[in-house]
């Protein structure tokens, strides 16, 4: 008789955000969109994906422009980077507003003296569950943030990105398998693949790469909030026996934004503990 519970994948120093920097992004200039994070319980909140990425990029030597709808949260991320000896500043921007997207990219490029990387960590899911609960307004609101916003950011960034730069979209396994029960969210994340491939095509002549990181279940404040609304999410059997940490998503993004992935473009990297491959 075997135990039906999967073994729990051990947390490494990287998983906990405790590994030292290795200079993997020395001299790079990166805009992280969605680099703040939601506060659910300030005393116990784990790090969110966007904040983990911004902190990690700073630790690895990059100058980081941290953009977020919540300026205070973006500023906290930037302050943590600076406290650790890095260079960072915060930008407030609503990616659903076209003029603000263009301003955000311009401010990031001006403040950093150029751009070598763009990471788009944005996504909302609103409305009731199922098609019966979907409305046209909710659909438009979700796609404005999750799909149109990244398109506008890439449109603004491509002319100012340095040759050989990298763009990383943060998607979700909801774009590959049904499960969130929010049709607009699932559709928007699936559509990111088409946008990413087009951006990779346009950037190829200048060596600009575009790829997707596709997280599975991640223990972040936003993830905990989603589990409160849909408790079954927390009971999902993950082959690795636990949800990911925000740091584990950040290290995947680090690989794709660095020259370690210099020959990788137009690809999707699932960081899901095996959910889409072996469960």
Q: Are 127 and 172 in contact (CB under 8 A)?
A: no
Longest alpha-carbon distance in the chain: 63
Dihedral angle computed from the Cα positions of residues 6, 10, 62 and 90, in that order, rounded to the nearest 10 degrees: 70
Q: Which long-range contacts (CB under 8 A, 24 or more apart) does 97-104 make?
A: 98/152, 101/149, 101/152, 101/153, 101/156, 102/152, 102/156, 104/31, 104/33, 104/67, 104/153, 104/156
- Would you call 185 a catalytic residue per the annotation? yes
DSSP string, 93-146: --TTSHHHHHHHHHHHHHHHTSEEEEEE------S-SHHHH--HHHHHHHHIII
**Cα–Cα distance between 41 and 77 in angstroms, integer?**
17
Q: How far is CA 161 from CA 57, 139, 192, in A?
A: 17, 31, 20
- Which position among 57, 169, 185, 240 bears the catalytic label? 185
Element (H, E) at 32: strand 29-33
Residues with a catalytic annotation lie at 185
């Amino acid at each position: 008789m075997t135990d039906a519970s999967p073994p729990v994948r051990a947390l490494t120093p990287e998983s906990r955000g405790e590994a030292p920097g290795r200079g993997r992004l020395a001299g790079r200039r990166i805009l992280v969109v969605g680099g703040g994070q939601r506060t659910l319980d300030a005393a116990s909140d784990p790090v969110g994906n966007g904040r983990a990425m911004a902190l990690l990029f700073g630790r690895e030597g990059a100058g980081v422009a941290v953009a977020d709808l919540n300026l205070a949260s973006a500023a906290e991320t930037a302050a943590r980077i600076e406290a650790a000896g890095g260079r960072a500043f915060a930008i407030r921007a609503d990616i659903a507003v076209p003029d603000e997207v263009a301003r955000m990219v311009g401010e990031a490029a001006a403040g950093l003296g150029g751009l070598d990387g763009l990471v788009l960590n944005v996504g909302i899911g609103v409305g009731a569950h199922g098609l019966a609960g979907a409305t046209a307004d909710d659909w438009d609101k979700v796609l404005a943030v999750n799909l149109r916003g990244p398109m506008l950011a890439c449109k603004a960034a491509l002319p100012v990105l340095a040759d050989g730069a990298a763009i990383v979209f943060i998607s979700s396994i909801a774009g590959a398998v049904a499960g969130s029960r929010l049709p607009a969210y699932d559709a928007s994340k699936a559509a990111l693949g088409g946008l990413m491939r087009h951006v990779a095509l346009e950037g190829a002549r200048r060596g600009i790469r575009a790829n997707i990181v596709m997280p599975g279940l991640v223990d972040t404040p936003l993830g905990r909030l989603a589990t409160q609304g849909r408790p079954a999410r927390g009971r999902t059997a993950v082959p690795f026996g636990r949800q990911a940490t925000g740091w584990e998503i950040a290290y995947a993004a680090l690989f794709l934004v660095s020259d370690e992935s210099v020959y990788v473009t137009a690809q999707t990297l699932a960081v899901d503990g095996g959910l889409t491959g072996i469960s």
